[in-house]
Amino acid sequence: MVRLYTIKEVMDILQLSYTTVYAMCSNGTLPSCKVGGSIRISQESLRNFILNNTKGGQ
């Protein structure tokens, strides 16, 4: 089963504001979908975003 995060959950994980996460979803920077009118971000999309947008570390 695919894990889907809400914007609030992604806010907490990435330590960004609601507006920033919403904008990232809207402009396609962070792939998302709507489920019942609410934006959801898949665990895979979030993982890929983190891996592709961070430097250093493992």
pLDDT tens for residues 16-31? 999 999 999 999 999 9
- Chain Cα centroid distance, residue 53: 12
CATH topology of domain 4-52: Arc Repressor Mutant, subunit A (1.10.10)
Q: Break the chain into its structural domains and give their ranges.
A: 4-52
What pLDDT, on the 0 to 100 scale, is given for residue 22? 97
The pLDDT confidence band at residue 55, using thresholds 50, 70 and 90, is confident
Q: What is the pTM of this model?
A: 0.87
> Looking at residues 5-10, what average pLDDT do you find?
98
Helix, strand and coil percent figures for the chain, each rounded to 5: 45, 20, 35
Distance CA 35, CA 46 (A): 17
